[in-house]
Amino acid sequence: MQATGAEAYNVLQNNGSAAHQAVPHVHFYIIPKFPDARLPMTWDAGALETGGAKRLLEKMRAVLAG
């Protein structure tokens, strides 16, 4: 931030074409943020239904266990 004069920054990593990944390998964008700058993207995080987080965690564990 000292080098750019930015007051903050975003780190962005897109994964998959549906996430707007143009080059099919892992890469990160470091986006300096200035007082009037905006990151022109929106995301409606929504909410999991009751018990949804626990079910999702169980599915993730099962996939990782192979």
pLDDT in tens, 17-63: 888 888 888 888 888 888 887 766 676 777 778 888 888 889 999 99
Helix (H, G, I), strand (E, B) or coil at 35: coil
Which pLDDT does position 41 carry in this prediction?
A: 67
Q: Catalytic residue positions?
A: 27
CB 34 within 8 A of CB 5: yes
**This prediction's pTM:** 0.53
Q: Is the pLDDT of residue 9 over 80?
A: yes
Which pLDDT does position 64 carry in this prediction?
A: 94
Q: Quote the CA–CA distance of 43 and 41 in Å, as a whole number.
A: 7
